[in-house]
Chains A and B, each alone.
Chain A
Amino acid sequence: MRWLSFFILAYVMLGLQIGLGSSMQIHQAQPNLLLLVAVFIAINAPRNTALAACLLLGLLQDLLMPGKPLGLATFSYGVIGMLVINTQEVVYGDHFLTHFSLALLAGLVVAVIYGLHGAIYPLIHRSLKIWQRPPMGAMMGGALYTAVLAPIVIFILQRMRRAFGFRSSRGYTSR
């Protein structure tokens, strides 16, 4: 994979995410554009490259989530990466339903991990006076919102796939 292309994509998507801010918000649910990049990479790149890219995306997301301990998004994106990468050989990566379902799965996994973390973290840090549990309704809504956008965003990214120079794990050049 061409890492320069990956970093440019991650930069643009994060910039879009910040710039769009609450403009794209519907009832507190916000789409997660970076998650779509993670799904796109996980569908196309070789296993270890895809997982490394997902972890980097998670780390970037972590750096932009004030109020949350560092590592939460990295872990979540790692889990998503492993899940989606394992589906590479059983799903048709160009179909919009694949994009929708994988993005929905990824969003729900993130919501569940954040929810569990929100419940466990204050038990570990009992001295913590202020701790806001993640709003699960908004996160689930965000997962659905992200999934709805997935066919459009990933379709565009799939058309740009050549710029990333993906090679599959099995050694041949991706379509």
Chain B
Amino acid sequence: MRFSPMLLMFIAVALFSALVMPPDLANAIRKVDLLFAPVAGPVHKLVESVDDHWSSNSTGRPVDDRTVKQLVNENEALKIRLATLTAQYEEIRQQLGEVGPIPADIRSLCRFISVMGTIPGRQMLTLEGSSIQGLQPQMAVLSPDGLVGRLDAVGLAVARVQLLTDLHMHVQVGFGRYPANKNDFVRLGDVPCVASGDGSGRLVVNDYKVTDLKANDLRTGDWVVLDDGDWPPLLQGYKIGLIEEVKDGTTPLVVNLIVRPKGDLMKLHDVMVLMKNQ
């Protein structure tokens, strides 16, 4: 038995389109994933809660014969110890040049939003935010560890973030470092360059001149920061990630800088959306 010629023609058209259509044109058509939020949202929440429950139950609970008074005392001692350690931790983070707490002026302009899921095949997150909450496309998305990405599409029930590490993401960046034994962040060089997402959790600064590399004394472990006029002024200089590797470029005159954000952006549970673009 044969198939309907119309269906076979449809398959042929699909093959033609798959070979000929540029991905950018296809991406312009794709805005439908937001339609699936009524199912995707609750499923994601359920999975998260099951995951939390599972991980909290997975460690064996030993039999405890301490009295209530002992537990209260121990709790108080632990609180004091935690506060001390937290203060020490923040101090060490700042000494090492790691990202400190988000400045209060930025935090006050942000809305905290939970992550609903990821987009298969892309470095994108779906958020439990909507246009009703005031979210708009192109708004910057942050986490305590640095810049995360930008809102790509906002619907009535869900919003989508294009991460900095996405294949189609490009952003102008600068460089900086915390000199040894100093808390002041020093910018290295004043000419921004373009970093592009590599689609697998990192960014790449392609064809960076070796002369600039030497002039700015760039090396692995230096910070990459935002230096892009298309992003809110408040975020200029905001940290993106660390130079992980300096690779040979296409010619001996250039190198490629591999940049890794702090933490896996695809595994974020919550993010902050900067509600003002200016």
Closest to A124 in B: B19
Q: How far is the CB of A99 from chain B (nearest CB, A)?
A: 23
Cβ B38 vs Cβ A15 within 8 A: yes
| Known contacts A21-B117, A52-B7, A14 near B27 by CB under 8 Å | no
Q: Does B191 contact A (CB under 8 A)?
A: no
Chain B binding surface, main DSSP class: helix
Q: Mark A18-30, 1 if CB is under 8 A from B, else 0.
A: 1111110000001
Closest to B47 in A: A23
Chain A binding surface, main DSSP class: helix
Cβ B3 vs Cβ A47 within 8 A: yes
Docked complex: A22-51 residues within 8 A CB-CB of B = 22-23, 30, 47-48, 51
CA distance A71 to B119 in the complex (A): 18
Cβ A19 vs Cβ B14 within 8 A: no
CA distance A58 to B7 in the complex (A): 13
Q: How far is the CB of A119 from chain B (nearest CB, A)?
A: 12
Cβ B14 vs Cβ A64 within 8 A: no
Contacts of B122 in A (CB 8 A): 66-67
Cβ A18 vs Cβ B126 within 8 A: yes
Q: Which of A73-81, A104-112, A151-159 binds B?
A: A73-81
CA distance A169 to B36 in the complex (A): 33
| Known contacts A67-B167, A125-B22, A19 near B43 by CB under 8 Å | yes
A69: contacting residue among B21, B44, B117, B199, CB under 8 A: B21
CA distance A121 to B262 in the complex (A): 34
Contacts of B32 in A (CB 8 A): 63-64
Contacts of B17 in A (CB 8 A): 69-71, 74
